[in-house]
């Protein structure tokens, strides 16, 4: 049985915008070798930008190439970080150029305020950063910021690629004991365990090679 084609939207978004962008292109978890890409789909682009509050005038076909280049850059950086390898200097510099494309304005205002309301005596203050403009450069920079924060503040051991060898899905493990191994335990986790069980049974194939199965669906695609 062949796996169904994925829908335009994932079942759930990640906790970092950079991971949602990176995971817009992924390999078939069943091991068919197929590669899926949601980036060209207008539905995915609109939902992604709306979910992360990146209000830009247009995210049309002319923007796909920019997003694809950013996605490739972030994948290289995040995979190196997760593997404990030095980050490629050229990629770090490319990320820094993206971060510098949109200046910010710093404002001192009451904590919890959403505008420019004047402070009253006794109010706690905060230093707030707002973008000088909200354009396409700003949107790309915000996605880059999410990756920069993950690289600067995250724990490499918690950033992982799914333990299913056929799956390229990346995630940041938020569990208390950092024990998560799968993009989704009920999908890739179950699939790999079933294959391992079958490989141990007599007559399962030469040298116990696992037999293919299509019992599970890819995590993320909408029905």
10-24, 132-146, 200-214: which range is least confident on average?
200-214
- Which domains does the chain carry? 17-208 (1.10.3300.10)
For strands 159-161 and 170-172, give the pairing: antiparallel
204: which 2 tokens?
Answer: 């399962």
Residue 152 falls in which region: left (phi positive, over 0), alpha (psi -120 to 50) or beta: alpha
pLDDT at 114: 63
CB atoms within 10 A of CB 216: 19
- Half-sphere exposure in the Cβ direction for 146 (13 Å, CA): 22
Per the structure block, which two tokens stand in for 13? 């978004």
Q: Higher pLDDT residue, 25 or 103?
A: 25
How does DSSP assign 173-208, residue by residue? Answer: --STT----SS-IIIIIHHHHHHHHHHTSTTSSGGG
- Pairing of the two strands 25-27 and 125-131: unpaired
pLDDT at residue number 208 = 42
Is residue 131 scored above 70 in pLDDT? yes
Chain center to CA of 81: 14
Average pLDDT of the chain? 83
Q: How far apart are CA 8 and CA 220, in angstroms?
A: 9
Mean pLDDT on 99-117: 81
Range name among 64-68, 162-166, 196-200 with the lowest pLDDT average: 196-200
If pLDDT is split at 50, 70 and 90, which confidence band does 62 have? confident
**pLDDT higher than threshold 50 for residue 217:** no
Taking residues 72-80, report their average pLDDT.
Answer: 98
Q: Which pLDDT tens digit goes with each residue over 38-56?
A: 999 999 999 999 999 998 8
Question: Band of the pLDDT at 199, cuts 50, 70, 90?
Answer: low
């Amino acid at each position: 049985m062949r796996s169904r084609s994925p829908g335009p939207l994932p079942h759930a978004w990640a906790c970092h915008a950079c991971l949602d962008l990176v995971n817009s292109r992924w390999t078939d978890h069943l091991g068919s070798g197929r590669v899926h890409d949601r980036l060209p789909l207008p539905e995915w682009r609109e939902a992604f930008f709306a979910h992360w509050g990146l209000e830009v005038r247009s995210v049309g076909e002319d923007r796909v190439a920019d997003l694809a280049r950013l996605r490739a850059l972030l994948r290289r950086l995040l995979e190196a970080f997760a593997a404990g390898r030095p980050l490629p200097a050229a990629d770090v510099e490319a990320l820094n150029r993206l971060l510098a494309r949109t200046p910010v304005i710093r404002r001192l205002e009451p904590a919890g305020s959403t505008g420019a309301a004047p402070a009253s005596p006794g109010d706690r203050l905060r230093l707030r950063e707002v973008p000088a403009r909200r354009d396409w450069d700003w949107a790309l920079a915000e996605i880059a910021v999410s990756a920069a924060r993950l690289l600067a503040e995250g724990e490499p051991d918690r950033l992982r690629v799914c333990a299913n060898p056929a799956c390229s899905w990346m995630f940041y493990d938020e569990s208390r004991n950092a024990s998560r191994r799968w993009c989704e335990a009920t999908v890739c986790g179950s699939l790999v365990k079933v294959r391992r069980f079958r490989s141990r049974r007599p007559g399962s194939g030469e040298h116990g090679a696992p037999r293919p199965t299509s019992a599970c669906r890819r995590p993320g695609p909408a029905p």
